[in-house]
């Protein structure tokens, strides 16, 4: 008889088309091969509800409850207290809590798998044999970084959230049998913030779908003209992506086009807000909005650029560009946590001048073998099967009381 696992996610883990959903999907499919899954999630994109039938073919039970983002924001603000973070209230759905309680009463659940700290309250009063928390990133530090860039009053609000959320993250990790992060650097950083938890903290890196993101696929070029095409992919309603797109369009492209007048910058991703859409008025800048497939853009790009100024964990867009066998130019923030050799597997640039120099070196043929080297780096260390084998070991050690894999502090 197969054991049963409850998987709770702050977003529907399908389709795997953005950051945390990619990781959630691969974790879910990996676990579904070993457990009967009771999947519970909140859904902030109504279009995602169409995927419930598909998830029911994978899981024994699926409970998906839509939430309205403006309503949830208001609810979180109303419930705000001096030491209470906003995030758990934003993702609170009473109907999902009732489903969790009923499922725990009806079934013998062997494992609880909490995907992101936002979902920890749903199992706060449960008594399970093993509970795994996949925090992914240190969200409190992300909000702290946002606060340094935001104007008043958002600066005050985000700074408050950073302070309160750190205590909440530590509390959630204390209640879990193991807490996971997306990279060794992120895990080690959390250990410095919560040294008492060092034996419970581990990292399970993201992989990349090496079959889907592969240079063997043939795509028609989406570009017109023969000039250098720089591609930046990602959902543009995510503030760090929107910030990076604007910085590159306004800060890098004018200098680059002064040298190479036919150079173009393609911002490829869903839900661009007015500020991002307005970038299309700049010479050489294109904003696509949602596309059916980002791979044609990456496949024909002179380079995939990732000029993030604020970033946490491992950037899937960097892994995907490298897996496609394309040269990638990443900022230091976007490169952090990725096991690759700058100058051979990808280029790292921080300032506008460094990005222009890196792009120029590519167009002048200085890194002819970089695409091949990038692909090999992904094949060597970023297949999902290898990454998730570590998850199996952590779960087995947590259940059996055996010695877990070494933590970053050991």
With beta carbons less than 8 A apart as the criterion, state whether 213 and 294 touch: no
Q: How far apart are CA 136 and CA 180, in angstroms?
A: 6
Q: Classify 194 as helix, strand or coil.
A: coil
With beta carbons less than 8 A apart as the criterion, state whether 181 and 201 touch: yes
The residues near 213 (Cβ < 8 Å, ≥ 6 apart) are 295, 298, 319, 320, 323, 324
> What's the confidence (pLDDT) of residue 403?
43
CA 382 to chain centre: 15
Q: How far apart are CA 254 and CA 22, in angstroms?
A: 34
Domain ranges of the chain: 4-207+383-400, 229-381
Q: Which residues of the chain have pLDDT under 50?
A: 401-406, 409-410
Please choose, from the candidates 176, 201, 81, 182, the residue with its C-alpha nearest in 3D space to the C-alpha of residue 119.
176
The CA distances from residue 180 to 27, 130, 288, 315, in Å, are 12, 14, 35, 17
Strands 229-233, 303-306: pairing kind:
parallel
CA 200 to chain centre: 22
CB atoms within 10 A of CB 109: 22
Q: In what order do the strands lie in the sheet with 303-306?
A: 285-289, 264-268, 229-233, 303-306, 328-330, 347-348
Please tell me the CATH code under which domain 229-381 is placed.
3.40.50.2000
> What's the confidence (pLDDT) of residue 41?
98
**pLDDT (tens digit, 9 = 90+) per residue, 381-402?**
899 998 899 999 999 988 654 4
> What's the confidence (pLDDT) of residue 370?
97
Burial class (CB in 10 A: 0-12, 13-18, 19+), 357: middle
Q: List the end-to-end C-alpha distance of the chain, in Å, as a whole number.
A: 37
> What's the confidence (pLDDT) of residue 410?
42
* Domains 4-207+383-400 and 229-381 are alike in CATH topology: yes
Phi/psi region, residue 234 (left: phi>0; alpha: psi -120 to 50; beta: rest), is: left
**E strand spans, 269-384:** 285-289, 303-306, 328-330, 347-348
Please tell me the CATH code under which domain 4-207+383-400 is placed.
3.40.50.2000
Q: How far apart are CA 407 and CA 410, in angstroms?
A: 5
> What's the confidence (pLDDT) of residue 311?
82
pTM for the full model? Answer: 0.90
> What's the confidence (pLDDT) of residue 147?
82
Burial class (CB in 10 A: 0-12, 13-18, 19+), 2: exposed
With beta carbons less than 8 A apart as the criterion, state whether 328 and 340 touch: no
> What's the confidence (pLDDT) of residue 1?
72
The CA distances from residue 18 to 316, 332, 340, 343, in Å, are 8, 21, 22, 27
């Amino acid at each position: 008889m197969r054991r049963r696992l409850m998987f709770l996610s702050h977003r529907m883990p399908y389709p795997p088309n953005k950051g945390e959903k990619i990781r959630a999907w691969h974790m879910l499919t990996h676990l579904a091969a070993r457990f009967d899954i009771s999947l519970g999630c909140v859904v902030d994109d109504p279009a995602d509800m169409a995927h419930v039938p598909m998830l029911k073919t994978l899981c024994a039970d699926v409970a998906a409850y839509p939430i309205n983002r403006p309503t949830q924001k208001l609810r979180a603000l109303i419930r705000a207290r001096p030491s209470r973070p906003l995030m758990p209230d934003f993702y609170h759905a009473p109907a999902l809590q009732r489903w969790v309680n009923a499922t725990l009463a009806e079934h013998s659940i062997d494992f609880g798998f909490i995907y992101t700290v936002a979902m920890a309250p749903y199992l706060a009063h449960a008594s399970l044999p093993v509970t795994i928390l996949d925090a992914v990133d240190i969200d409190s530090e992300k909000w702290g970084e946002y606060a340094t860039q935001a104007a008043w009053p958002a600066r005050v609000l985000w700074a408050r959230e950073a302070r309160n959320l750190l205590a909440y993250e530590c509390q959630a990790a204390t209640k879990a049998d193991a807490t996971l992060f997306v990279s060794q650097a992120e895990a080690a950083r959390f250990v410095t913030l919560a040294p008492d938890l060092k034996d419970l903290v581990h990292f399970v890196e993201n992989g990349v779908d090496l079959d889907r993101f592969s240079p063997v696929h043939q795509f028609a070029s989406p570009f017109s003209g023969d000039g250098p095409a720089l591609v930046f992919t990602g959902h543009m309603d995510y503030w760090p992506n929107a910030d990076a797109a604007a910085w590159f369009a306004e800060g890098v492209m004018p200098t680059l086009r002064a040298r190479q007048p036919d150079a173009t910058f393609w911002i490829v991703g869903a839900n661009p807000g007015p500020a991002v859409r307005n970038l299309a008025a700049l010479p050489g800048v294109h904003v696509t909005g949602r596309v059916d497939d980002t791979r044609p853009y990456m496949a024909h790009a002179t380079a995939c650029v990732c000029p993030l100024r604020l970033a946490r964990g491992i950037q899937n867009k960097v892994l995907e560009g490298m897996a496609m066998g394309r040269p990638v130019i990443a900022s230091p923030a976007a490169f952090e946590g990725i096991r690759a050799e700058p100058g051979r597997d990808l280029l790292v640039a921080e300032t506008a001048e460094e990005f222009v120099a890196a792009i120029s070196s590519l167009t002048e043929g200085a890194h002819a073998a970089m695409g091949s080297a990038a692909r090999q780096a992904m094949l060597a260390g970023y297949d999902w099967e290898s990454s998730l084998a570590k998850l199996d070991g952590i779960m087995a050690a947590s259940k059996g009381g055996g010695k877990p894999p070494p933590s970053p502090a050991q």
